[in-house]
Structure 1
Amino acid sequence: MNETRRKKFLSCHRCDTATVHSLLCRADSDVERCDAEGYKSYEPATYSIFQCDGCTRISVYIWSAFHSPLSEFGEQDYPPGFLDIRGAPAAVSLAYQQAEHVKSRSKVAYAVLARKVLDAIVKDRCAEERNLSRALNVLATRGEIPSLLAEAANHIRLFGNAAAHEANMHITEIHVQMIDKFLAVLVDHLYTAPTALKEFKVLLDMDGDEQVDV
């Protein structure tokens, strides 16, 4: 039965290149979207499930009016893509994506690149201070990041330093998960949440303009 499956070249996140994929299943259904005002809408959609012939990673593509036609099967919905850091400069987003890209491949590389995310952040938010440790303290003193996040960022900095310079550095999956968690909170605090709040305020202003006094 496997011999009759349709074969396609598609991007594989694990293999980090385009590989031969087998189409396992296709099904017609729909997708749901909710707009900024809370209204739901539905569109017909076709779901395609593929499996990489090399690493066996499963991927899901969706074809609908809501999805970009990045391939003849639509947009890849799973595995999810890199985090879109809304409001962050390109250098911060790139550093974060590079760290995410190696997270499942090399714990040491992830620790080193997580530190580089901090470098990119302080260059954006504290360009006058070139020392990473002092720059994090400046951000905390200014109130741009709470003391808890400043402490977590400092641990990520120290861990990244050790990963880069200590040949026998032992890093576990727990270390990776903790770095990942605090790094995500940090970029959300500095970039994503403030951007979302601005958008929310715009919506509130629009709603206020539509109100009529009686």
Structure 2
Amino acid sequence: MTSDSKKTFLPCSRCNIATIQTVLCVADSDVEYMDADGHSGIEPATYTLFRCDGCTRISIYIHSAFNNPQSEFGEQAFPKTLNDIRGAPTTVQQAYFQAKYIKNTSQVAYAILARRVLDAIAQDKCPGERNLAQALQTLAIRGEIPSFLADAMKHIRLFGNAAAHDAAFPINGIHVEMIDSFLEILITHLYVAPAALQEFKLFLGIAKENESDIQ
């Protein structure tokens, strides 16, 4: 169903602000879901296609019983929005989301804030270490991160230092994307994956005392 070019204010993931969005299309469909017992089902939903009047980026919102009832259009399904990092403390989440927020606005600022993500992780995992370099080394020695990831974090740390102190330091989009990729791997390795594993065990009904019985 084609819209009548309705306009509204919504956040834009590229502009990083609420912008005027044009409704391009509205269509009724459904969404699939799975309940706590693992049974799948279908729920009616309305899909709305928007285009930002500023940067022309396309976004899709879904409105159903599973989405925000306070919103006229539901929740953004594309591009994907940032969710809570399961298992990570608030300090790490805030540092990570602040870096993500500035990623498409300033490459220099992103490099600096990416280093702050490492600082937040170090304070969480190695609160007794005197500096970030030592904390990252401790994580590697304890086996909490593999050697390749420790090496990547070292370069992100050095890159962030250079971005903060050298105005002529060259930074481009490729640097930013590589840093972003390795930060996501680190966050997943330290927080998301362990939390997901505990959730998986919960659904399987595996208690700690019974783990040794499963071989």
- The answer, yes or no, to whether TM exceeds 0.5 is yes
Structure 2's unaligned 5+ residue stretches are 208-215
User: How far apart are residue 69 of structure 1 and its match?
Assistant: 2.5
Question: What is the DSSP-based 3-state SS (H/G/I as helix, E as strand, rest coil) of the residue aligned with 2:161?
Answer: helix
Letter paired with 2:17: T
CA distance in 1, matches of 2:151, 2:177: 17
Matching residue of 1:117: 117
Q: Which deviations, in whole Å up to 9, do the C-alpha atoms of 1:110-146 show, x marking residues without a partner?
A: 1111100000000001000130001111111112112
Q: Deviations over 1:155-176 (max 9, x none)?
A: 1100111111111111122211
SS state at 2:21 partner: strand
CA distance in 2, matches of 1:186, 1:94: 15
- SS of equivalent residue, structure 2 residue 144: coil
Amino acid corresponding to residue 120 of structure 1 in structure 2:
A
**1:133 maps to what in 2?**
133
In structure 2, the residue corresponding to 1:130 is in which secondary structure? coil
Q: Does 1:143 align with 2:136?
A: no
- Confirm whether residue 183 of structure 1 aligns to residue 183 of structure 2: yes
* C-alpha distance in structure 2 between counterparts of 1:5 and 1:64, whole Å: 22
Establish whether residue 21 from structure 1 lines up as the match of residue 18 from structure 2. Answer: no
Give the alignment of 1:1-214 within 5 angstroms: 5-35=5-35, 37-205=37-205
By how many angstroms is 1:103 displaced?
A: 1.2
The answer (yes or no) to whether the contact 1:19–1:52 under 8 Å persists in 2 is yes
- Checking the alignment, whether the CA contact within 8 Å between 2:16 and 2:101 is kept in structure 1 is no
Question: % of aligned pairs identical?
Answer: 60
Q: Which contiguous aligned blocks of 4+ residues in structure 1 show a shift greater than 4 angstroms?
A: none
- Tell me: CA distance 1:142–1:166, structure 2 relative to 1, closer, same or farther (3 Å): same
Distance 1:23 1:149 in 2: 43
Question: For residues 190 and 132 of structure 1, what CA distance do their matches in structure 2 show?
Answer: 16
* Structure 1: gaps of 5 or more residues: 208-214
Q: How high is the TM-score relative to the length of structure 1?
A: 0.89
Q: 1:163 to 1:80 in 2, by over 3 A?
A: same
The aligned length equals 205
Distance 2:17 2:179 in 1: 27
User: Over residues 77-115 of structure 1, what are the superposed CA-to-partner deviations in whole Å (9 max), with x where a residue is unaligned?
Assistant: 122212431100000001000111111222111111110
2:105 aligned counterpart, secondary structure: coil
- The worse-fitting range, judged by mean Cα deviation, of 64-73 and 148-157 is 64-73
More off after superposition, 43-52 vs 63-72: 63-72
Normalized against structure 2, the TM-score is what?
Answer: 0.88
Q: Superposition RMSD on alpha carbons, in Å?
A: 1.9
